[in-house]
Structure 1
Amino acid sequence: MHPSDNERAHITDAIQKQQNALAPLRITGSPSEVGQGLVALAELYGMLEDHAASREHYEEAYGFFKTAGNKPGQAQALFGLGVVKAHFEDHKGAIEHMATAALLFNEARDREGEALTRACIGESLRAMGEADGAEEKYQEALILYRQTRNTERMARLLLDIGDLRMAKGEYEPARKRFLEAVPLLEQGEDPDALALGHLLLGEAEGLLGHHDNARPHLLRAVDVYGELHDHVYEARARWDLGLSCYYLQDYAAAREQFEAVLPMYEDLRQHDEVAKVKNVLAHFAARGV
């Protein structure tokens, strides 16, 4: 999500303040202190989506941390460089930086840092089409997050792992991951993740033919996406919900969902989906349901 104009103004102001604080620190501070100041600056540029500037400051920070022999700082800077490379679609370079960062985080016994880094390696592998390697890294990160009891990160990884299984057609293993994720998401404060969890679980149940089980999850996804005004995903959830209602022979409920999703597809200019829904509604009209 791109920062709003108001957010950009706040970030720009924070960058100026950080640059002002960094100037005297370069003279009086230790290499580690300068490195931390540069990492903070790099992170701010990253929030502003100026990834070139972010990379420059991470690289300089890494040099200061190396001079200081500060391995946790080196890990932090290398992780940041990996994130930057991933933004530039250099996933191979991102993985190289992050693999070294993960080892350094491990040496420092920073499980959260190591877990996040391994999860990001998984993201880059996934972007490269290496699904098995991505799942392996997600699993490694999941083990670490279980140890730190970071339920929010656990839930997101469970969704990622389940999504990979769905892509392979392994619906039952995917369903088990989603079933574990949804209660964790219900405890959290991330409505996007919660809606996605219910949507994916509903889709997995539907693909397994468990339409009674699918229906409440898809209805929950519709409600949350409606509150978020995310019409792309609300439309997807409504279409799936309509299908579940149809297979349960609740034709009135199915028709209600298809009639609701039609203007969404029209607004989104998804012409193939519009045609598909119109055909379904014509089928209903011909049968008098």
Structure 2
Amino acid sequence: MSLTDSEQAHIQKALQKQRDALAALRFTGSPAEVGQGLLQLAELHGMLEDHAGSRQSYEEALGLFKTAGNKAGQAQALYGLGVVRANLEDHRGAIERLAQSAALYNEVKDREGEALCRACIGESLRALGHTDGAEEKYQEALILFRQTRNPQRVSALLLDIGDIRMEAGDYKKARERFLEALTLLEKGDEPEPLALCHLLLGEAEGLLGGHEAARPHLLQAVSLYEQLHEHAFEARARWDLALACYHQQDWPAARAQFEAVLPLYEEQGRTEEAAKVRNVLAHFTARGV
């Protein structure tokens, strides 16, 4: 997500402030304290997508934490380097750094940090096309996040695992994961992951032939995405909902959703999808629906 000019200016200001503080800290602070300052600097570089600046700060921090014998700091720096490499599409390099970080987090008994590393390794494995390995790492992270009672992370991983099951055509297992995630997300106050969960659950139900069960989830996804002004996902949810209504032979409801999705496709320049919807609507008109 791109930053606004004001957000970018705010981060640039924070970056300069951190540089100034770090310059003074180099004279008065311990290696571990300077390392922590460098971690903060690296994170600010990352927010600006300055991956080179971020990597430089993380590497320097790593050296200082090694000098100080600070394993927790080393784990943080290695995690940051792993994320930087992943952002640069060097997923093999990312996995190497993240695995080192996970081992250190395990040594210092930081389950949250270890879980985050394992989840990120899963993301890089998935990016490399190793979905079985990715799911295994997601499952490892899931166990740890359950132990730390982090429902936000647990629900995100359940969605990821369910999505992998969807790709594999195991829609029943996917539905189980999405239902578990939904229970957690409905207790929270984040509409975006909740909308995605309803959308994925509706799609899983539809692929299992449960079009009646799919409709309330897809309706909820449409409503949430409409409120979020996420038109691409709203279009996806409306198309799926239209198909669910069509399969149930609820022609008026299907037509209403096809009519609603058409301007969304046109607005997004999706000419092929728009043409397909026009053909469906023409077919309905010809049948007097």
Shorter chain as denominator, the TM-score bin is: over 0.9
In the alignment, the residues of structure 2 paired with residue 2 and residue 205 of structure 1 have an alpha-carbon distance, to the nearest angstrom, of 34
Q: 2:98 aligned with 1:93, yes or no?
A: no
- The one-character-per-residue Cα deviations of 1:26-83 (angstroms, maximum 9, x if unpaired) are 1111111010000000001101111110000000000000000100100000000000
- The one-character-per-residue Cα deviations of 1:211-253 (angstroms, maximum 9, x if unpaired) are 1110000000000100111110000000000111111221101
Match of 2:281 in 1: 281
Match of 1:181 in 2: 181
1:21-100 aligned at under 5 Å gives the runs 21-100=21-100
Q: Which runs of 4+ in 1 moved over 2 A?
A: none
1:189 positional shift: 2.7
1:160 positional shift: 0.4
- The one-character-per-residue Cα deviations of 1:173-202 (angstroms, maximum 9, x if unpaired) are 000000000121122232211110000000
Structure 2 residue matching 1:187: 3-state secondary structure: coil
In the alignment, the residues of structure 2 paired with residue 23 and residue 80 of structure 1 have an alpha-carbon distance, to the nearest angstrom, of 21
In the alignment, the residues of structure 2 paired with residue 152 and residue 106 of structure 1 have an alpha-carbon distance, to the nearest angstrom, of 21
In the alignment, the residues of structure 2 paired with residue 156 and residue 102 of structure 1 have an alpha-carbon distance, to the nearest angstrom, of 19
Structure 2 residue matching 1:3: 3-state secondary structure: coil
1:284 positional shift: 1.1
Unaligned segments of structure 2, at least 5 residues:
none
1:205-220 aligned at under 5 Å gives the runs 205-220=205-220
Q: CA RMSD in A?
A: 0.8
Question: TM-score, structure 1 length as denominator?
Answer: 0.99
In the alignment, the residues of structure 2 paired with residue 156 and residue 98 of structure 1 have an alpha-carbon distance, to the nearest angstrom, of 19
Match of 1:140 in 2: 140
- Sequence identity (%): 70
The residue identity in structure 1 corresponding to 2:94 is: A
The residue identity in structure 2 corresponding to 1:150 is: N
In the alignment, the residues of structure 2 paired with residue 206 and residue 32 of structure 1 have an alpha-carbon distance, to the nearest angstrom, of 54
Which is worse superposed, 20-29 or 83-92? Answer: 20-29
The residue identity in structure 2 corresponding to 1:45 is: H
Q: 2:161 aligned with 1:167, yes or no?
A: no
Question: TM-score, structure 2 length as denominator?
Answer: 0.99
The residue identity in structure 1 corresponding to 2:110 is: D
In the alignment, the residues of structure 2 paired with residue 91 and residue 240 of structure 1 have an alpha-carbon distance, to the nearest angstrom, of 33
Match of 1:117 in 2: 117
Unaligned segments of structure 1, at least 5 residues:
none
The residue identity in structure 2 corresponding to 1:85 is: R
In the alignment, the residues of structure 1 paired with residue 283 and residue 116 of structure 2 have an alpha-carbon distance, to the nearest angstrom, of 49
